[in-house]
């Protein structure tokens, strides 16, 4: 006889797969895999003794149902903000939060230097120059996808 029930919280790579394995092993569902407001995927089962097994993992930014706001402080033209969000979508999710902060900071610096609100031109130049020189070749395709000719920005690609 079980003296007290426990809850076990397990971080798993594939919540749905682990959930199904536990169901196949005789556990009863408490709730099926779902996305939570805390940007996690979770499911819960009860084992044969009534203990709770919670399966969870953090969602990647690509799995969120929204695009996070830019950490902007200055004035931005809406088309410039939209362009930067689209360009950042090409950055791997693991690095996107860091890239969002760094690129936004560089773009706003360029706009302050020009004594102007942030324009698409600032976004393009900041997007390129804020990246490490060794990885800038990865920016060519996202720029082309936005109809931007990377050859027009060779100074930024060469910037140390």
Count how many domains the chain has: 2
Separation between Cα atoms, residue 51 and residue 45, nearest integer Å: 8
Separation between Cα atoms, residue 64 and residue 61, nearest integer Å: 5
Say which residue the tokens 């004594």 belong to.
115
Domain that holds residue 55: 7-59
For all residues of the chain together, what is the average pLDDT?
92
154 with 87, same domain?
yes
Residue 65 lies in a domain: no
Kindly indicate the confidence band of residue 146, based on its pLDDT and cuts at 50, 70 and 90: very high
Kindly indicate the confidence band of residue 2, based on its pLDDT and cuts at 50, 70 and 90: low
40 with 91, same domain?
no
Residue 115 lies in a domain: yes
103 with 154, same domain?
yes
CB-based contact 17:10 (threshold 8 Å): no
3-state helix, strand, coil in the chain (%, to 5): 50, 20, 35
148 with 91, same domain?
yes
Kindly indicate the confidence band of residue 74, based on its pLDDT and cuts at 50, 70 and 90: confident
Residue 138 lies in a domain: yes
95 with 152, same domain?
yes
- The whole-number average pLDDT for the span 14-27 is 97
Reported pTM: 0.68
26: CATH: 3.10.180.10
């Amino acid at each position: 006889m079980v003296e007290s029930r426990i809850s076990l919280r397990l971080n798993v790579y594939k919540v749905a797969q682990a959930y199904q394995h536990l169901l196949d092993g005789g556990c009863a569902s408490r709730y099926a895999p779902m996305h939570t407001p805390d940007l996690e995927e979770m499911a819960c089962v009860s084992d044969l003794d009534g203990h709770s097994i919670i399966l969870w993992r953090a969602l990647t930014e690509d799995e969120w149902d929204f695009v996070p706001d830019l950490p902007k402080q200055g004035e931005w033209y809406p088309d410039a903000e939209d362009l930067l969000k689209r360009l950042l979508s090409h950055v791997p999710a693991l690095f996107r939060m860091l890239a969002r902060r760094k690129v936004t900071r560089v773009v706003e610096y360029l706009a302050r230097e020009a004594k102007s609100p942030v324009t698409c031109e600032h976004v393009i130049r900041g997007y390129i120059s804020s990246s490490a020189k060794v990885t800038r070749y990865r920016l060519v395709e996202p720029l082309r996808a936005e109809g931007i000719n990377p050859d027009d920005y060779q100074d930024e690609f060469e910037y140390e």
